Structure 1
């Protein structure tokens, strides 16, 4: 059976990288969601998922990958098509919970329509971080201890579906990533008084939520993350090996080297 991929794109660099990796993909964007795709795109409305499913099937799409940032859209029930009307009760219920529950339901809905949902790491495995030092001189012993502490915090929060990132310095939690995202977390940490850091720079840890499905909302960093981490004053960035994407590897590495911070992959 011939397989064809569709990229369901949000904003950011990841959809562009996937489109470059899979040039024959059918590129989907959504009304009201900015994107940076350079390929031919096909726009749909969230209220009319029936139109989206029909177009994907007509184009011979068998696999889909979700890529990029996409906030929860405001929905107009008056614009729902018949398919969306049937899905609305489940979607509305899931939207009252955390991101993980909602995204799992989205995967289920696409699978019910006969599509295989792929992860970005399956389409472009070269984007994932491996275990070991990616750049920089490596962590201090304190940084490794802080990374373990951050991982413990993230694992403790996983059951309530909160956070893929955490900053710890000298054993103290300086911030947790919430709905506002990584940049907001690092901006908050940048304003933390030095005396609260126990004379430790600390580390920023980015990881999957425990039990998270790798096929959707896979965490990622890029050069802007590195710049914000440097402004936040951390010693380095620790990423879950195999569970976090590095976007624009060359620019990300250059930014870290310029800032004098390390980036490493680690089993967490």
Structure 2
């Protein structure tokens, strides 16, 4: 499919990173209240005006869209609905009550039904979604065991649409990711966590998509700040599911990890 690309943007650095990876400028549409960092959107929209947004994208020659950036469920204002979008209210509200994954699937479905091809970040910027391999440092056998344990925990969390990350040390779960996010989880570990054996494995952060997740939307994201928070929490490294996690500013993230003595591992 040819035609212009639109980025449906939320908060964070990912929308700007995608723009930087493209040869042609996309149309950037940002959800009101969730503006991206380092990027000026072409337009700002509200979910209550979703159908007018779809029509504007079509009139602008857009045929492909990618969702990028963090959003929270917006509070809907009944007075702002146009007639066409109002017909979607039961569908959207029902999806929002089903959890983040269900809400995102519903929005993606609306775009696809309107004739747009929905792409993932890996489709347009594959370098931001690394394949399997140790990027820097070297996990120990104890780290490998902790990573396997963390993967089990994150899979269980994801199955009930809770979070996409956990911190594990010496086989014990020190923290899991919930609504406050990865940074808050790492800050909690830095402030409270005690390892059973101070001389043994220091632990690691593990991130992965939810089981059965549509990899075009809501992929976990790591960056330089994640490395800094993990180092402050006293962890040995960061592990993620290869091909399922976005790494922002890969070179800067690797440099920060090397400086902090952390390993980075995209786990198969």
**TM-score category (smaller protein):** over 0.9
3-state SS, counterpart of residue 134 of structure 1: strand
Q: Which moved more, 1:191-200 or 1:50-59?
A: 191-200
Q: Distance in 2 between matches of 1:60 and 1:125?
A: 24
Equivalent position of 2:230 in the other structure: 229
Q: Distance in 2 between matches of 1:155 and 1:70?
A: 22
Equivalent position of 1:7 in the other structure: 7
In structure 2, stretches of 5+ residues that fail to align are none
- Report the TM-score when normalising by structure 1: 0.95
Q: Distance in 1 between matches of 2:196 and 2:35?
A: 38
Equivalent position of 1:55 in the other structure: 56
User: How many equivalent residue pairs?
Assistant: 266
Equivalent position of 1:157 in the other structure: 157
Q: Report matched runs for 1:66-85 at 5 Å.
A: 66-85=67-86
User: For each residue in 1:67-119, what CA deviation from the matched residue of structure 2 results, as whole angstroms up to 9, or x when unmatched?
Assistant: 01111111101111122211111111111222111111111111111111100
Any runs of at least 4 consecutive aligned residues in structure 1 with deviations exceeding 6 A, and if so which? Answer: none
Preserved contact between residue 221 and residue 245 of structure 2 (Cα < 8 Å): yes
Q: Distance in 2 between matches of 1:56 and 1:37?
A: 22
Q: Report matched runs for 1:1-268 at 5 Å.
A: 2-22=2-22, 23-38=24-39, 41-136=42-137, 138-196=138-196, 199-267=200-268
User: For each residue in 1:188-226, what CA deviation from the matched residue of structure 2 results, as whole angstroms up to 9, or x when unmatched?
Assistant: 111234344664311110111111101100111000000
C-alpha RMSD of the superposition: 1.5
Q: Distance in 2 between matches of 1:27 and 1:202?
A: 39
User: For each residue in 1:167-189, what CA deviation from the matched residue of structure 2 results, as whole angstroms up to 9, or x when unmatched?
Assistant: 11111111111111110111111
- Report the TM-score when normalising by structure 2: 0.95
Q: Which moved more, 1:196-205 or 1:72-81?
A: 196-205
User: For each residue in 1:208-260, what CA deviation from the matched residue of structure 2 results, as whole angstroms up to 9, or x when unmatched?
Assistant: 11111011001110000000011111110111111111101121111101111
Q: 1:262: how far off?
A: 0.4
Q: Distance in 2 between matches of 1:4 and 1:197?
A: 56
Q: Which moved more, 1:220-229 or 1:28-37?
A: 28-37
Q: Which moved more, 1:165-174 or 1:190-199?
A: 190-199
Q: Distance in 2 between matches of 1:192 and 1:40?
A: 40
Q: 1:2: how far off?
A: 3.2
